[in-house]
Structures are given as C-alpha cells and as structure tokens.
Amino acid sequence: MTNSLDSVSKEQLQTFLDIATEAACAGGAVLKSYWGNLTEVEEKRPGDLVTIADKESEAMVLSILQRHFPDHGILAEESGVLGNTESRYLWAIDPLDGTTNYAHQYPFSSVSIALLIDGIPSVGAIYDPFRDEIFRAATGLGATRNRLPIHVSQVSELSRSLLVTGFAYDRTQVEDNNYAEFCHFTHITQGVRRGGSAAMDLAYVACGRLDGYWERGLSLWDLAAGVVIVREAGGIVTAYDGSEHIPTSGRLLATNGHLHQQTIDELALIKPLPFKFPFGR
C-alpha cells in the first residue's frame, strides 16, 4: 500500500479528501430534501430498490467530482463506469447506501464516496444526513468523525463484543447467504446487528460503536470508503480467512484488531444452514 502511494503527497490526499467530503455532504443534502417525500420507488431486482433521491444525490456527487477531477475514472452505483477508465484514480460512489431503510423512513442511510488509487482504497468519506455525522479518512492522515479523531474499540473478547452484518439480495437463492454466520455469532457475542448500510456499519466499527463486521455480496461502492476509515482508525480489514482483502471480492471482515483472529477462527467453523434452495415467496 505504501509503495502504491509513494507518488501521491499528503497534500494531494488531503485535497482528494476535502472534495470527497464536499460531495458527500452535498449528496446528503439531496437525501434530506426527499426524506418523507418519495412518490415512487423502483425495484431493480427483488429487494434492490432505487429512488429519485438515489439518482439526484448521485447527480450532485458526480457534478462535484467531475468538475474537480475531469481526468479521473468513476464507478457509480446508478450510472456505472464513467470518465477515464485508464486513470490510476477511481472514485467509487454510493449516493444512497441503505435505500431500503430510506424508502421505509428508517433513518439509517448514508452517502459513501471513496477514491481508489491503483486499485487500493485510499480516501473515504461517509456522510449520515440524519445525525449530521461525516466520517472521513485518507491513507496516512488518520480517521475522524466531524473533524475529531476516532479510534476502534478495545474489546478483546467475542463474548463481550457487539458485531454487525448484512444479507445480500441473492440470500434466498444461494446457500452461502450469511444466515448460519448470523446465528453463530449471535450465540457467542453480546449481540449482532443488521444495520442495512454497509458504509455506516464500517464507520461505526471505526469509531468504536461496534467491534466487528463481516458481510458478503457487497459492491465496491458499498465498502471502499469504509475500508479506508476502519484502517485509519486502527482496525483491520481482510478476507474472511485473514488473507489480503480484495476490494472487488464482494466480502470482507473488519474488526478492531483485537477480535480479528478469533472472528476468523469462528468463521472457519461455520457450515451453511440446511435450507432447500431456491426458496422464498
């Protein structure tokens, strides 16, 4: 990671972070303007919703990033691949992470913006418009919440931990659906939450409100910003088995570090629940 960023100065990273923050807050303002005023909710696939708030938040974020960085590449949830696909700089944008929550007026959603440099998550900004909290980080610059430093928790035993996870849209169609993992960790911890916004889940691990997070079926825009923030807050992010995390793999394990090996060991023990697939409605 260090070698990849040798040619990028701290001043450049700070500029990227400041623009990401501007864009995230602008997108969040759009979300607040539509809160409780949605007239139509589309379903891209079962359980995967999109609203006008998603689309207009993304348009606002794109306008800011493209104005400042016209030569960068962009991967946005609603618009797909944009800009310079050959650039070493790739912005990953989720204009509304937690659309199902938002559509039901459950206030746990966020705008998540990350910059990957040579494929490595290096800058992240996650804005919660309902609590007016902005979580930010860039490699080597530390992590903050509303400009104040944050750090992961010090919990060192799973039996004293509070974890969080989520379930992918294909959960009723595949055996690898995270149900068994959820049940297993619920029994050996103080609790497991299902927030519904991967970006917020990672931000909460970073600031110590939660002690660990695992999930599968994620997109790059869901996780990239949170990965940077957790790492800069002193946490660890890897694959389930402890190997190097590949941002495009769709799954990750993020903890405060103290719980990391214990969580890896437990994940290795878990077998899928004996459901018959596919099932559902």
**What are the pLDDT digits (tens) for 57-112?**
999 999 999 999 999 999 999 999 999 999 999 999 999 999 999 999 999 999 99
Q: Give yes or no: residues 196 and 143 share one domain.
A: no
In this structure, is residue 281 part of a structural domain? no
Q: Give yes or no: residues 137 and 12 share one domain.
A: yes
245: DSSP letter: P
Q: Give yes or no: residues 126 and 218 share one domain.
A: no
- pLDDT on residue 278: 64
Distance CA 258, CA 156 (A): 5
**Structural domain harbouring 175:** 158-269
Amino acid (1-letter code) at residue 4: S
268: region left, alpha or beta (phi > 0 left; psi from -120 to 50 alpha): alpha
- pLDDT on residue 1: 40
Pairing of strands 89-97, 110-117: antiparallel
Q: Give yes or no: residues 95 and 121 share one domain.
A: yes
Distance CA 220, CA 35 (A): 26
Q: Give yes or no: residues 140 and 165 share one domain.
A: no
Q: Give yes or no: residues 14 and 90 share one domain.
A: yes
Is 194 in contact with 165 (CB distance < 8 Å)?
yes
Per-residue pLDDT band for 204 (boundaries 50, 70, 90) equals very high
Distance CA 185, CA 91 (A): 34
Average pLDDT over residues 145-172: 94
Residues 6+ apart with CB under 8 A from 130: 107, 108, 109
In this structure, is residue 276 part of a structural domain? no
Q: Give yes or no: residues 30 and 118 share one domain.
A: yes
Residues 6+ apart with CB under 8 A from 195: 98, 108, 164, 166, 201, 204
Amino acid (1-letter code) at residue 33: S
Measure the CA dihedral 18/21/27/28, to 10°.
Answer: -150
Q: Give yes or no: residues 116 and 206 share one domain.
A: no
Residue that terminates a domain, selected from 93, 119, 149: 149
Q: Give yes or no: residues 46 and 130 share one domain.
A: yes
141: DSSP letter: T
Residue that terminates a domain, selected from 121, 149, 177: 149
Q: Give yes or no: residues 183 and 211 share one domain.
A: yes
201: DSSP letter: H
Within 10 angstroms of residue 121's Cβ, the number of other Cβ atoms is 28
- pLDDT on residue 2: 43
Is 56 in contact with 155 (CB distance < 8 Å)?
no
State the pTM of this model.
0.94
Residues 6+ apart with CB under 8 A from 54: 77, 78, 95, 96, 99
Number of domains in the chain: 2
The pLDDT > 90 percentage for the chain reads 84
Average pLDDT over residues 112-132: 98
- pLDDT on residue 168: 84
The CATH number assigned to the domain holding 194 equals: 3.40.190.80
244: DSSP letter: B
Q: What is the three-state SS of 246-260?
A: CHHHCCEEEECCCCH
Residue 279 CB burial class (10 angstroms; 0-12, 13-18, ≥19) = exposed
Residue that terminates a domain, selected from 149, 168, 196: 149
Q: Give yes or no: residues 8 and 105 share one domain.
A: yes
Through-space distance between the first and last CA atoms of the chain, rounded to whole angstroms: 45
In this structure, is residue 112 part of a structural domain? yes
Q: Give yes or no: residues 131 and 204 share one domain.
A: no
In this structure, is residue 111 part of a structural domain? yes
Pairing of strands 148-149, 162-165: unpaired
